[in-house]
Amino acid sequence: MFVRTQRLTLRPGWPEDAPDLARAIGHEAVCRNLRRVPWPYGEDAAAQFVAEFRDPLDPKFLVFEHAGAQVRLIGAAAVQRIGDSHELGYWLTPSAWGRGYATEAAGAALRAARARGIRRVLSGHFVDNPASGRVLRKLGFKPLGQTIQLYAPARGGEAPCARYALDLDGDSGGDCDADPEARMAA
């Protein structure tokens, strides 16, 4: 599945994306806020990650910024099954921070999840990363009032994580529908 927004293209990862992926995510400032990526993050980890894009309809994407003819890998966004629930995860390379891309990319992944029939999504952010909490609230996520300890390899230990939930049923999907220009194609 591909999703196009006004400024971004979201698509599955391909083997040839591994070098660009390793460069985009390979910053401690990115990896310290992710709980399922190795640290340090190299091309081997990137090749393994893109090999996991098996189902073309899964709402799991690499995120590309497109400005004219120039296209650049700037992050990833996915709604994946973890245990008994679905969870939203996303990240952006530091040069893409502060431009609204996280909200745009995560919203596109949520629309794709809704199209796949996913109705409830959980997410969270480390409490020392309040920008991610703002993104979740913009998307319509509601705080669960829970803070749990999660391990992040780049932190070398656990850190407190605030938990959120979003119901995608009907019109209650929050602002994940905020971009009427977004287009999905399988």
Give residue 175's pLDDT band: very low, low, confident or very high (50, 70, 90).
low
Residues 151 and 136: their CA atoms lie apart, in Å, by 20
Residues 49 and 52: their CA atoms lie apart, in Å, by 5
Q: What pLDDT was estimated at residue 170?
A: 57
For residue 72, give Cα distances in angstroms to 86, 122, 169, 175, 182: 28, 28, 33, 25, 19
Q: Which residue's entry shows tokens 């995860």?
A: 89
The radius of gyration computed from the CA coordinates of the chain, to the nearest angstrom, equals 15
Residues 144 and 32: their CA atoms lie apart, in Å, by 23
**pLDDT tens, residue by residue, 59-113:** 999 999 998 788 999 999 999 998 899 999 999 999 999 999 999 999 999 999 9
Residues 141 and 102: their CA atoms lie apart, in Å, by 14
Give residue 186's pLDDT band: very low, low, confident or very high (50, 70, 90).
very low
Give residue 167's pLDDT band: very low, low, confident or very high (50, 70, 90).
very high
Q: Which of 14-23, 30-39, 147-156, 162-171 has the lowest mean pLDDT?
A: 162-171
User: In the 8-state DSSP scheme, what is residue 85?
Assistant: E
Q: What pLDDT was estimated at residue 56?
A: 77
User: In the 8-state DSSP scheme, what is residue 45?
Assistant: H
Say yes or no to pLDDT of 181 above 90. Answer: no
94 or 181: which carries more pLDDT confidence? Answer: 94
The whole-number average pLDDT for the span 110-138 is 96
Q: What pLDDT was estimated at residue 180?
A: 41
Give residue 178's pLDDT band: very low, low, confident or very high (50, 70, 90).
very low
Residues 147 and 139: their CA atoms lie apart, in Å, by 20
Q: What pLDDT was estimated at residue 173?
A: 46
* Neighbouring residues of 85: CB distance < 8 A, sequence distance ≥ 6: 120, 121, 122
Residues 128, 152 contacting (CB under 8 angstroms): no
Total-model pTM? 0.90
Residues 69 and 56: their CA atoms lie apart, in Å, by 25
**pLDDT tens, residue by residue, 30-54:** 999 999 899 999 999 999 999 999 8
Which CATH class, in words, describes the domain spanning 2-185? alpha beta
Q: What pLDDT was estimated at residue 102?
A: 98
Instruction: Name the average pLDDT for the chain.
Output: 91
Residues 15, 24 contacting (CB under 8 angstroms): no
Helix (H) or strand (E) holding 106: helix 101-115
